Amino acid sequence: MEKKKRENYLIVLLAGLIMIFLIYIGSTWGNKLKWDFTEENLYRLSSGSINVVKKLNSPLRIKLYYSKTAANKGTEGIRAFNNYFTYVKDLLLEYVGHSRNNLTLEIIDPRPDTGDEENAITYGIRKFNLSETESYFFGMVVENDVGTEKIIEFFDPGEKDKLEYAITKTIYSVARPAKKKIGILSSLPLQSDLNPYLAQMMRMQGKNPPESWAITELLSEFYQIEKIDPMAQEIKGIDVLLVVHPKNFTEKIKWAIDQYVLGGGNLLLLVDPMAVIDRPVNPSAGFSRSSNLPVLMENWGVKLEEGVFVGDKSLAGLGRVTPEAPPAKMLQIVSCDERCTSPYKDITTTGLYDLVFLLPGSLKILDKKAVPILGTTEIGNTFSASEFELNDPIALWHKFSGGEGRVMGVKIMGMFSSAFPKGITVETKKLTGLTRSKREASIIVIADVDFIHHQFAFKETLFGLALANDNANLFLNSVENLSGSTDLLSIRSKGVKKRKFNVIDEIELEADKETAETVTRINASISEAQTELDKLGAQVNEGNLAVIKSQALNKKRELDKRLAFYKGQLREVKRQGREKIENIGRFFQYLNTLLIPLLLIMGGLIYNTIRSRRNAREV
Amino acid sequence: MISNSLKTIFKREVKGYFSTPLGYVFIIIFLFSIGYVTFEPGRGSFFITRSADLSSFFKYIPWLFIFLVPAMAMRLWAEERRTGTIELLLTLPVSIREAVLAKFFAAWFVILLSLLGTFPMLLTVAYLGNPDWGVIFLGYLGSFLLGGAFLAIGSFFSALTKNQVISFILTVGTCYILTMAGSPPILEFLSAVFPKYVVSLFESLSMLNHFDSLSKGLLRFSDIWFYAVMMFGWLVGCGLLLKENKAN
């Protein structure tokens, strides 16, 4: 009996060990079999990434540095990093799986005072000190046999949406390491022609030499920059063409742009119905600040709506028309947050939540090749206004009516036909060229120029110019995106869609609307009372001073009363909005906490009463 | 094919849950607690995060199950052993395998009913926003499988001892250790004693890691395999213990 008992316990122990072994085998080998149930396909590589690794023709090594041992010594909070490490590792294994044996993955846990730690520091992987003895690394190096290496210095779980793009870009840039060349073609002085020596001389003479725009300086840190002659007949030898504010362009340069795109060249085009920064040296009556390339753009599948600007009351930024005027919400300023970029899930604009545009234009999509990457909210619309009207933001605000949303930026990818199929004639000379695309090209069009000017993209700090918002990032993202391959361009951002409480947002928007109306009424009352007081002030003379003074005091008292009334209204509107939201929250809390338990108690009581009655009857 | 005796015991067990307050108490405590913690006025509260998903709901499921499922499982066999009805059951023309499975499935069915009772949460997110139903479906699947795994562990300990309290404590302890198996402090403790492969073996047993991946919308074979092996293994253990009892 004892022997049998011991045998049985041994079997239980053996079964336990087999169970652990089976689980371990399943966890190690069964990870490759997976199904992604997310709407955004968060756990699958996009076709762009697959193409990039499939096209590799030389071996690359990926070294993933993760301080697992150190992380395990950390707090419970570091579990998020452990989970993110698993996500990154699984994604990298997918890259390796698609690379036809051209990629290898090595996972390194750098321990203190070892060669691995030294290497991680030499590569530039970011180091965090967890304690006096433990350091934490979570980065990646991609290198090839000829010594080219690129790193991701730290995998931030907060940037999960850009992870795939970052990895693919790193692999791509190691596979093609040459510095990219950007051609700039603009009617604005983006790049100064002045020799640095001459500029220095001019400064010494107390003159202000023309300088390149801050954005061009920033661009030159990452790329080789070449100025394109506006009279050129051919554009070649560059990786990306940047056309900014194409104003009064000749047929010849338009033809050159057309041929450049047909040849597979990538283009970033910034057009504007009114570029405020386009200031004439000698102001003249017929000066126009608008730019457009209608024939070419329509041929690519997009059109800039002429003479109208995009406005959105929910995105209106604060500004003032004159330095003396109080700051007010202005339709002219479109201050974008995630609502302008998140819905499009494009890698160029994803994660940019602070963009400022001044009188941007509206882009109409004519062909399905063009996809929006930047837009207003669903209440955005276009408006037209004369220069005079633009100086009266309050009147403009009241005149504006909401629409169904407008597009301010698009990305176009594909093959095109020429906008000049029969060629052009320049000074009696006939120019002919490609009539259809040779290779696929990519174009990004943004309907604003002002956003890259340092006035809107940078701010002065003690240490020089610093980024004021995401404007420069939008510009750099676009250039970077276009300087990669079309595969890289096609990678969509894997942003987890922010699934907002639409109902609550609507209530808040409604309350905001009512608040804005009351604020406008308050402002109108103040300015009305101020005008009356000014009028009274103008009538003052020695004889009527006392009378006017008492009238002014009465007016002031009346105004204070009116203001108190409006402020009360304002509080009431805000309270009502808040209460509505709190009531909804409370309702759902009760619904989810109490409804089913109460129903169950009632159901149970009824069921058991019936049962006991039936039993009693049977007895 | 499901045998008739399995069906009969299953029905008897399910009926047993609802003819006594046990089933109701379990479901009511679960629904009330999950509703309360999901909406509790903390930083991660459903209404404060304002995200039309059920992450703030699913993250509490393992912690509630750690206590509730063992409470339900503790009586599975210990009660039969205490009252002596186990002898009667084992003399019936029913195999131990059928008895173990029937009792397990009946209790698992009650867990399923409790999860179905949270349907107002689905109505809530559908009304408030536009949720990702695929992720929610996997979250429920993960919760159901996790409940099954805890229940299998509970069955094993219930068969091990006559005392329900001991069975409850052992189950809670084991479920807690397996839930926290991927937790850095525990791994650190183990890595000081055991070699690396033992630590990673232990980490692969983490209930929470497997549950996390499901509740984020990724269905991996390894996760399904993990729960299936867990349930199978502990139930086999339970069967062996009962066989041993029967022999005694």
The conformation of residue A459, written as its DSSP 8-state character, comes to E
Total number of domains in chain A? 4
pLDDT value at position B68? 93
For the cut 70, the answer to whether the pLDDT of residue A232 exceeds it is yes
* Domain containing residue B233: 4-247
pLDDT value at position A565? 78
Q: What average pLDDT does the segment A403-414 reach?
A: 91
For the cut 90, the answer to whether the pLDDT of residue B174 exceeds it is yes
Q: What average pLDDT does the segment A41-62 reach?
A: 84
Minimal CA separation from A73 to chain B, in Å? 5
Residue A608 in domain: no
Question: Distance between CA atoms of A161 and A349, rounded to whole angstroms?
Answer: 12
| pLDDT > 70: percent of chain A | 88
Residue A612 in domain: no
Task: Give residue for tokens 């209106």.
Answer: A316
Minimal CA separation from A154 to chain B, in Å? 20
Query: A109 to chain B: nearest residue by CA?
Result: B196
Co-location of A329 and A462 in the same domain: yes
Total number of domains in chain B? 1
Is B32 touching A (CB cutoff 8 A)? yes
pLDDT value at position A486? 65
Co-location of A26 and A64 in the same domain: no
8 Å CB contact of B47 and A82: no
Which of B113, B132, B180, B202 is best to mutate for the A interface (most A CBs within 10 A)? B132
CB < 8 Å to B218, chain A: 34-38, 42-43
Co-location of A258 and A378 in the same domain: yes
Q: Which residue has the higher pLDDT, A27 or A353?
A: A353
Q: Please, is A301 exposed, middle or buried when counting C-beta atoms within 10 Å of its C-beta (0-12, 13-18, 19+)?
A: buried
Is B97 touching A (CB cutoff 8 A)? no
For the cut 90, the answer to whether the pLDDT of residue B243 exceeds it is no
Query: For the segment B65-121, what is each residue's pLDDT rounded down to a tens digit?
Result: 999 999 988 888 887 777 777 777 777 777 888 889 999 999 999 999 999 999 999
Co-location of A51 and A26 in the same domain: no
Q: What average pLDDT does the segment A179-189 reach?
A: 88
pLDDT value at position A152? 92
For residue A80, what pLDDT band results from cuts at 50, 70 and 90?
low
8 Å CB contact of B52 and A588: no
Residue A208 in domain: yes
Co-location of A46 and A95 in the same domain: yes
pLDDT value at position A311? 92
Co-location of A451 and A320 in the same domain: yes
**H and E: helices and strands count for chain A:** 19, 24
ipTM, two decimals, is 0.82
Residue A468 in domain: yes
CATH label of the domain that carries residue A381:
3.40.50
Query: For the segment A500-521, what is each residue's pLDDT rounded down to a tens digit?
Result: 777 777 777 777 666 667 677 7
Is B243 touching A (CB cutoff 8 A)? yes
Q: What average pLDDT does the segment A590-601 reach?
A: 88
CB < 8 Å to A74, chain B: 184
For residue A450, what pLDDT band results from cuts at 50, 70 and 90?
very high
Q: Which residue has the higher pLDDT, A322 or A419?
A: A419
Co-location of A472 and A395 in the same domain: yes
pLDDT value at position B241? 84
Task: Return all residues near B153 (Cβ < 8 A) that are at least 6 apart.
Answer: B70, B73, B171, B174, B175, B178, B230, B234
8 Å CB contact of A37 and B138: yes
Which of A72-76, A204-208, A375-379, A550-554 comes out lowest in average pLDDT?
A72-76
Q: How many CB pairs under 8 A join A and B?
A: 199
Question: Distance between CA atoms of A437 and A564, rounded to whole angstroms?
Answer: 67
Query: For the segment A27-36, what is each residue's pLDDT rounded down to a tens digit?
Result: 777 767 888 8
pLDDT value at position B20? 81
Provide φ and ψ at A396, rounded to 5°: -65, -40
Question: Distance between CA atoms of A321 and A323, rounded to whole angstroms?
Answer: 7
* Domain containing residue A93: 40-174
Query: For the segment A90-139, what is each residue's pLDDT rounded down to a tens digit?
Result: 888 888 888 888 888 888 989 888 889 999 999 999 988 877 778 889 99
For the cut 70, the answer to whether the pLDDT of residue A496 exceeds it is no
Residue A489 in domain: no
Q: What average pLDDT does the segment A411-429 reach?
A: 88
Provide φ and ψ at A314, rounded to 5°: -80, -10
Co-location of A160 and A201 in the same domain: no
Residue A454 in domain: yes
Co-location of A245 and A372 in the same domain: yes
Question: Distance between CA atoms of B159 and A263, rounded to whole angstroms?
Answer: 76
8 Å CB contact of B135 and A23: no
Q: What average pLDDT does the segment A346-352 reach?
A: 81
Query: For the segment B52-65, what is each residue's pLDDT rounded down to a tens digit?
Result: 788 888 989 999 99
For the cut 80, the answer to whether the pLDDT of residue A616 exceeds it is yes
Co-location of A251 and A316 in the same domain: yes
Interface of B with A in 178-237 (CB under 8 A): 182-185, 187-188, 191, 199, 201, 204-205, 209, 212, 216-222, 225-226, 229-230, 232-234, 236-237
Q: Which residue has the higher pLDDT, B162 or A267?
A: A267
Q: What average pLDDT does the segment A268-291 reach?
A: 83
8 Å CB contact of A28 and B230: no
Co-location of A405 and A259 in the same domain: yes
Minimal CA separation from A347 to chain B, in Å? 21
Co-location of A156 and A202 in the same domain: no
Which of A187-191, B39-43, B81-85 comes out lowest in average pLDDT?
B39-43
Beta bridge partners of A149: A143
Residue A490 in domain: no
What average pLDDT does the structure give for chain A? 83
Identify the domain boundary among A483, A517, A549: A483
Residue A427 in domain: yes
Query: A35 to chain B: nearest residue by CA?
Result: B219
CB < 8 Å to B121, chain A: 592
For residue A529, what pLDDT band results from cuts at 50, 70 and 90?
low
Is B91 touching A (CB cutoff 8 A)? no
| pLDDT > 90: percent of chain A | 22
Closest partner residue to B226 (CB to CB) among A23, A76, A593 is: A23
CB < 8 Å to A73, chain B: 184, 188
Torsional sign, CA A124, A129, A134, A140 = negative
Query: For the segment A291-309, what is each residue's pLDDT rounded down to a tens digit?
Result: 989 999 999 999 999 889 9
Residue A277 CB neighbours (<10 A): 18
Is B51 touching A (CB cutoff 8 A)? yes
